[in-house]
Chain A
């Protein structure tokens, strides 16, 4: 599964993307797995209310299932326009 990071999430984690083999069933489980890896992940994911997530390029929430997920992206609230 490809994991993508944007804006300050990318900066905090220190990379724009990575590929991960995971058994996580939901986004929340994936977040827990990432947080347990290193401090910089724990810091980036410390406040989920400040984050948004997309699975396969569709906005979703942290309870979402990862069944069929090829790409998961984490980022702050969007500031377009």
Chain B
């Protein structure tokens, strides 16, 4: 199963033009992965974004999760304490990196934030190829304070997979675009490229 597609899709709970947060109905062990491209398809355009962070914990901060003693695995603790899982939530932070309107893919901020409570789903390989083929999508990610080197490396690895046999060509194009964007930050460029080839 593709990560992040198990069970019900998360929904947008905080919406902004540059980033948004989506939450699963409860705690999930297989949320969207770091750097994964996701899509919000509700509204006049489909917004594409990159997963930059995932957090799981209690829905109510006033009831912190207490770690039990003993030798049980996490799955066994959940099975023995069925009340815990419904009290937990998994939240995913996404940085927008483009949108698709009609036949056109734009490596720009969307005209409006995604609708609150809209479903967030994995971008299809076709959407990923469409949105990432020229590497222009990297500009929004590089400019975001939420995207560190690990995120950029992860998104490049994931997008390369979507390009299949053309993965090598895509990586070269994206690397060139990254070099252009980070010409003043060679150390950062090196760090990201090491992450891509790791």
Q: Are A and B physically bound partners?
A: no
Interface residues of B (CB under 8 A from A): none
